Structure 1
């Protein structure tokens, strides 16, 4: 049994959350809490290359490590671990628990290594938290994990950063599509990486037409990696053509979301990015539990939860999709109208 570390000895701390977008963004409140508890500590964040620019200007983060190697590269793990060992970390916190983060934690040389207590790679850690077994908002779970090192408190404000150049690029793009006219901009994220979370394409198309027709909205579809064909398929079903966004860097996309009046999507990473930049959201929940993934007590962010006796199941695939089939287009439109009227 390991005793708790002395907080005064925690001068250099590394937090690991390599992926995915939503999980990375939901880790940012941890840095706010760490900064309050340890104002003199050097706080570092390790994540995958695409997400690193979103974190580099955050006030509580002193350094961002962008991990460049594929998960299959053991040589990459050992090469990166050598760089981490030179930092002489006192504490490493791994919120992911998969093979590469576990190896990096173990090889970091840190005296204290904190991980989730229910992961298979317990050999990598000497401190554990069971906070991820609760049904609390995931950002709260991550903060509660710090109780394992004697840090109390909760933070729920997620955040990302983007540059003035990113914001100018997004504004220029919008002006080219609005002609300077005042119209509410609504972003739709129509593709889910998990089949069981995928709302029907014809319903997204119908929603697009109603938002554009009844609410005079400029409706945009964002396109993630590998989503071009699916997004194009949904766009072809629309009677009113949506604006298909370019494949911007995530910082430019975050700036664009900050200019939107509303974002509508499945429960996915883009939703959390919209929350982080202060844009109201409507999230369509199929198999996932909104208590885990919806910020509590925030009226700017609404959840539409399909009714099904098996909800929540968190399955990756489903032959029925009863929960998502229960979500009607008119119900989502009504919520969107209410948001825009505020």
Structure 2
């Protein structure tokens, strides 16, 4: 077995979508150096987004909270273990892990980042949270390594036997439940849309996590529509495999929608207050700059972004009351007929 030419650690201590949209960094390094060791460090519980990713050698999980003894033990395990550490997220935690784990480290800082935290990195770039897509933004770190960006998002994947669930093509995958209320569409509208799809002799499969509220939400839709409910039954890699074979995927602004986009399947993404310039699903085969504008985006490759008609869109707030419990009128006002006209 060949000894790795260099050891890289990519540190992404945020959510699933952040991790997935950082995979072009790993893909670019692998293209540049096929024999490199490329590891990831993510928060425990988020490692599933990297399931089946053959570009990555190892995934290290870090508990969000743990005892001082275990944290120090973790630091010793990582100490100076890598040649290069990269963090596409701007946080003190990520910069600290960069500092302890590698001889050279590169990442981002915000205007409010302390000088001490910024100096934990060998070099850094000011974080742009508005005008640069996350895929392009993360790959800016490659400029420190003279590596060309590939712009290729790598979705999780694990083989799935469709016959196990008696699934036959054609079928659509719908992921109706986002993590936050401000990204939520109306349950009654999901039911109306699914009934319409099934009238066209197309099966509908629901996906979701094992979260109690999400399971109940998907169960209600299943009961009303007779769709196949796989919420809580699949790993993220299996969800990726399911979507890859689907005729279409429909979902809100969530990590699963980013997975769908990366599989190449036609993806209809329902967006509310979120800025698509920064967070729009990355179109398959997009190798040129920012794909999205703030509003009224056209179909790009396999992606359709559907936004509300409200004049405030996108406000970039967490709902109309600007808190995680509030809802967004813009996404709630998206009509079922609008979606129907896009899919069949």
Q: TM-score range by the shorter chain?
A: 0.7 to 0.9
Question: In the alignment, does 2:46 pair up with 1:46?
Answer: no
Contact persistence 1:137–1:291 (CA under 8 A): yes
2:108 aligned partner = 116
Post-superposition offset of 1:73: 4.7
Query: Mapping of 1:261-272 within 5 angstroms?
Result: 261-272=247-258
Query: Mapping of 1:128-139 within 5 angstroms?
Result: 128-130=124-126, 132-133=128-129, 135-139=131-135
Counterpart pick for 1:333 among 337, 340, 344: 340
2:10 aligned partner = 15
Counterpart pick for 2:309 among 288, 307, 310: 307
Question: In the alignment, does 2:77 pair up with 1:83?
Answer: yes
Contact persistence 1:140–1:155 (CA under 8 A): no
- 1:204-228 CA-partner distances (Å, limit 9, x unpaired): 1111111111x22211211214211
SS of the residue aligned with 2:89? coil
1:187 aligned partner = 173
Counterpart pick for 2:205 among 209, 214, 220: 220
What's the RMSD between the two structures over aligned residues? 2.5
- 1:157-179 CA-partner distances (Å, limit 9, x unpaired): 2113434xx322xx12342x54x
Contact persistence 1:51–1:250 (CA under 8 A): no
Question: In the alignment, does 2:216 pair up with 1:229?
Answer: yes
Post-superposition offset of 1:66: 3.1
For 2:275 and 2:138, how far apart are their aligned partners in 1? 17
Uncovered stretches (5+) of structure 2, i.e. residues with no partner? 283-290, 292-298, 322-326
Post-superposition offset of 1:123: 4.9
For 1:75 and 1:261, how far apart are their aligned partners in 2? 50
Counterpart pick for 2:28 among 19, 30, 33: 33
TM-score by length of 2: 0.81
For 1:34 and 1:160, how far apart are their aligned partners in 2? 17
SS of the residue aligned with 2:152? coil
For 2:42 and 2:140, how far apart are their aligned partners in 1? 21
Cα distance 1:299–1:285, how it changes in 2: closer, same or farther (>3 A)? same
Post-superposition offset of 1:139: 0.9
For 2:157 and 2:315, how far apart are their aligned partners in 1? 35
Post-superposition offset of 1:134: 5.0
- 1:253-281 CA-partner distances (Å, limit 9, x unpaired): 22222221111011110011112222211
For 2:155 and 2:339, how far apart are their aligned partners in 1? 27
Contact persistence 2:6–2:83 (CA under 8 A): yes
Contact persistence 2:257–2:281 (CA under 8 A): no
Counterpart pick for 1:318 among 315, 320, 328: 320
Contact persistence 1:56–1:64 (CA under 8 A): no
Query: Mapping of 1:247-262 within 5 angstroms?
Result: 247=232, 248-262=234-248
For 1:38 and 1:312, how far apart are their aligned partners in 2? 39
2:266 aligned partner = 280
Post-superposition offset of 1:142: 0.8
TM-score by length of 1: 0.81
SS of the residue aligned with 2:59? strand
For 1:196 and 1:334, how far apart are their aligned partners in 2? 24
Cα distance 1:321–1:136, how it changes in 2: closer, same or farther (>3 A)? same
Cα distance 1:173–1:336, how it changes in 2: closer, same or farther (>3 A)? farther
**Count of aligned residue pairs for this structure pair:** 312
Counterpart pick for 1:125 among 104, 121, 126: 121
